[in-house]
Structure 1
Amino acid sequence: MEPLRWGVLGATGHIAGRVLPAIHRTVGNAVVAVAGREGRRERAERVARAFGARVHDGYDALLGDPDVDAVYLALPNTLHVPWTLRALDAGKHVLVEKPMTLSEEDCVRVERAAADLVVMEAYMYRFHPQQKRAAELLASGEIGELRLVRSAFAYPTAVEGNIRFDPALGGGATWDVGCYAFDVPLWAFDAEPRAVRATFHSREVDLSAVATLDFGDGRWAVLDYSLEYGPRAAYEFQGTRGSISVRNAWTRPDEEGVITVVTLDGVREEAVPASDAYEHQAAAFAEAVREKVTPLVSLAHSARTARVGEALVRSAATGAEVDLRRRL
């Protein structure tokens, strides 16, 4: 089997430092080229040496490399759409860090440009065996009908020099940690909420938020997320006959997962062996490319997530509930 040959845009960033080794370790994948920001040639060369890859001077040069099949895009949020579109135009498959876009409109642009190429938003936790087991338990009906999802993701983050706090680069808690928190109820209910309401604590960007999502028929999600408190990374499914709780939804590669199931019959815990979600994500992406199938995190899912994110931002700005049945 020929490996899927990867080029990396933004190779010197923090998140790339976690994803590149995972791609490199995964059977059927190879990191062959990297490109970093202007002025970071030396750092890019150090990264490249670790994987036996070559360094390109600039992102366009990497996209022009005929030996690159797929691009992993780890740039600031506002650069995701333009460089995704340029990568697609160059005939490359794209794995793009979340948020892929900051609007539904941009999701449509990406979908139109993708044609027969694979584009996937990098929600790595969706590929972890812990996540798959939680989904199996939910689908089994053991806790009855799903009525409430509680989801949280938060960690305190240094502000100085951090692009997460730059409004010009799409910074803020909603598009950094919040999109994980509201992604959970979207796949759990497999639906878009009818309405959302959010309250932000903000300075130049939103730092923390609490939000409710109304899925209709007595089904709700309650979220909190933050860049100023934590750590907190958990979700819970409350059904009519019990609950499923995931203690740490975004486990480290060396951390065992723990799922707690509570019903009228009692309480039990299931342990999920430690593994690297980024490795599972890389393997799944390569399989989607080879098999020419829609990936687990589809562009339709990404459009739905973007709509909800936009609605939460609007609700916090206006202080009112936003009805998603009326297009934004």
Structure 2
Amino acid sequence: MLRWGVLGATAFISTRVAPAIHRVVDNRVVAVAARPGRVEASGRFAAQFDARVHDGFEALLNDSEVDAVYIALPNSEHVPWTLRALEAGKHVLCEKPLALSAADVERVEAAAGGLTAMEAYWYRFHPQQRRVVELLASGVIGELCVVRAAFAGLMDPVGNIRYLPELGGGATWDVGCYAFDVPLWAFGQTPVSVQARFHSKDGAPVDTSGAATLDFGDGRVAQIDYGFDYGPCARYELQGTHGSIAVRNAWTAPDEECVITIITNDGHREERVPAADAYEHQAAAFAEAVRTGTPPLVTLADSKRTARVGEALVESARTGAVQVV
């Protein structure tokens, strides 16, 4: 049995993530931590799973009956609480972005030791995504040349922590992470350089949308866009020398059938992937990594690369210049 504790009792975690964990054999949410003075709200979350409620995050980390923690706090709190959880001997599955800098990921690496620490890029665990990785590796579209990725959806700024810079808000560190994660795994390397432009709608204190080009060298590029101020869109395309693979909804809902479109000189075909809950697949994979001591699908090396690219995009948008990664 892998016994989970949750830091961040949000409605999304209580309705999507925690139930998915419970559906994995031998996995249970056994404890929920409330911020001081908010035990009642967390109690409603915990009651769904017959879990204990702790008054404060430190109390949960001191719970000897918790093996792993899911961290769903604001971006600015991910690294501090990941480090504290690892110091307490807990495995950690942390919402993305794990960190806002590569240096902070290195701090997590140093603290992890023999524990499993993973950034929760949940879509990477969906059977649709696994199938795309297989198709790309098969060579059906030849050598990868161009990646196009877009992820956006309108978000109301009222009461939304994504609009608070002090909490690590902004489109780049939210939906943008997903968009630039696609070329990173597809090309399997860090880009040579990036050039980005951000927009802050209605004078928002954070970037509400962005567009960027990532140069991977040898004519290989990625073009991405993302935002809070338009949408919805959730797609990517992998263009190779002999064809393309397109996913119309890369960040899919658990009840949504998935369609992968493959176009080559031999014609056009579609592969349909049944609906699946990527959070459940993610929890199962994380639990297996804990059980076996093997590296998870999303490694800390991946997270360091992702953070480095995010930093470069922010700097490029600030200066208006190409930024070497």
CA-based RMSD of the aligned residues comes to 0.8
Provide the C-alpha distance between the structure 2 equivalents of 1:123 and 1:193, rounded to a whole number of angstroms. 19
Could you give the per-residue CA deviations for residues 158-205 of structure 1, whole angstroms, max 9, x where no partner exists? 101100000000000000000000000000000000000000002310
Contact between 2:316 and 2:322, CA under 8 Å: does it hold in 1?
A: yes
Going from structure 1 to structure 2, the CA distance change for 1:13 and 1:38 (only over 3 Å counts) comes to farther
The gaps in structure 1 that reach 5 residues or longer are none
- TM superposition shift of 1:38: 3.1
Contact between 2:37 and 2:55, CA under 8 Å: does it hold in 1?
A: no
* Equivalent residues in 2 for 1:1-328, closer than 5 Å: 3-202=1-200, 203-324=204-325
- TM superposition shift of 1:42: 1.5
- TM superposition shift of 1:74: 0.3
- TM superposition shift of 1:24: 1.1
Contact between 2:14 and 2:45, CA under 8 Å: does it hold in 1?
A: no
Provide the C-alpha distance between the structure 1 equivalents of 2:285 and 2:316, rounded to a whole number of angstroms. 35
Give the partner amino acid of 2:221. W
Give the partner amino acid of 1:281. Q
Provide the C-alpha distance between the structure 1 equivalents of 2:56 and 2:11, rounded to a whole number of angstroms. 15
How high is the TM-score relative to the length of structure 1?
Answer: 0.97
Instruction: Give the secondary-structure state (helix, strand or coil) at the position aligned to 1:14.
Output: helix
- TM superposition shift of 1:40: 2.5
Provide the C-alpha distance between the structure 1 equivalents of 2:150 and 2:101, rounded to a whole number of angstroms. 22
- TM superposition shift of 1:13: 4.7
Could you give the per-residue CA deviations for residues 247-301 of structure 1, whole angstroms, max 9, x where no partner exists? 1001111001100000111100000000100000000000000000100000000
Give the partner amino acid of 2:224. L
Could you give the per-residue CA deviations for residues 285-321 of structure 1, whole angstroms, max 9, x where no partner exists? 0000000010000000000000000000000000000
Contact between 1:6 and 1:72, CA under 8 Å: does it hold in 2?
A: yes
The alignment covers a number of residue pairs equal to 322
Provide the C-alpha distance between the structure 1 equivalents of 2:109 and 2:68, rounded to a whole number of angstroms. 16
Identity %: 69
- TM superposition shift of 1:14: 2.9
Contact between 2:91 and 2:115, CA under 8 Å: does it hold in 1?
A: yes
Contact between 2:235 and 2:246, CA under 8 Å: does it hold in 1?
A: yes
Provide the C-alpha distance between the structure 1 equivalents of 2:138 and 2:107, rounded to a whole number of angstroms. 37
Give the partner amino acid of 1:196. V
Q: Displaced runs of 4+ in structure 1, greater than 2 A?
A: 12-17, 36-40
Could you give the per-residue CA deviations for residues 15-54 of structure 1, whole angstroms, max 9, x where no partner exists? 4532111111111211100012334322211111100111
Provide the C-alpha distance between the structure 2 equivalents of 1:263 and 1:12, rounded to a whole number of angstroms. 44
- Does 41-50 or 167-176 show the bigger shift? 41-50
Provide the C-alpha distance between the structure 1 equivalents of 2:208 and 2:227, rounded to a whole number of angstroms. 6
Contact between 1:261 and 1:267, CA under 8 Å: does it hold in 2?
A: yes
